[in-house]
Amino acid sequence: MALRKVFHDGDPVLRKKSRRVEKFDDRLQDLVDDLLETMREENGVGLAAPQVGVLRRIFVMNVHEEGDPAHDMVIINPEFLAQEATQHEVEGCLSLPGLYGYVDRPAQVTIRYQDRTGQTQELTADGLMARCICHESDHLEGILFSDKIVGNLFRYNKDGKAIDVKTGEEVELIQHD
Ligand code: NI
């Protein structure tokens, strides 16, 4: 296993469409292990292969609060079967470090995908996992969350306040119970 370099917004590789995975060989297993290790090192909840410069339809995710490896998921060749309702939440991305924004996503999604052994699986997810699936699937199409934000990107300042990167004004965050 090895850490891979995460490419940042501005690199053309992030804007390309990824190709389907056909071979579930040792090389794929190495890539999957590297994606998981890199996601963990960077404290991400998801990481897609194009973010490390590999244009294949693979992403990994772990939405567990402490990132317990037992909750690692490997999603290959995902296809959406259903999308329902809407959620409006803050997103970030390892390819846009320190930047956040609100994105509307389906509240629930159902996907069909292959696991790392090539077995076909189905998954219905809501909340953070649904959002992560949509965000990472967008990476496979060359789309970044910043393309879809409602409002402007913001950063957090040292006091934990959200500051609009364009206007420098404080952003009012939506409070959930
Ligand atoms: Ni991302």
Output the CA 172–ligand 1 centroid distance in Å.
23
Alpha helices, DSSP H, located in the chain: 26-41, 127-139
- For residue 14, how far is its CA from the centre of ligand 1 (angstroms)? 10
Query: Half-sphere exposure (CA, 13 Å, Cβ side) for 23?
Result: 6
Q: Which residues are catalytic?
A: 136
Using CA atoms, how far residue 124 sits from 79, 138, 142, 152, in Å, is 12, 18, 24, 30
Q: What is the pLDDT of residue 177?
A: 62
Q: How far is the CA of 37 from the centre of ligand 1 (A)?
A: 16
CA of 133 relative to ligand 1 center, distance in Å: 10
**Tens place of pLDDT per residue across the chain (177 aa):** 799 999 999 999 999 999 999 999 999 999 999 999 999 999 999 999 999 999 999 999 999 988 899 999 999 999 999 999 999 999 999 999 999 999 999 999 999 999 999 999 999 999 999 999 999 999 999 999 999 999 999 999 999 999 999 999 999 898 776
Instruction: Give pLDDT, residue 176.
Output: 72
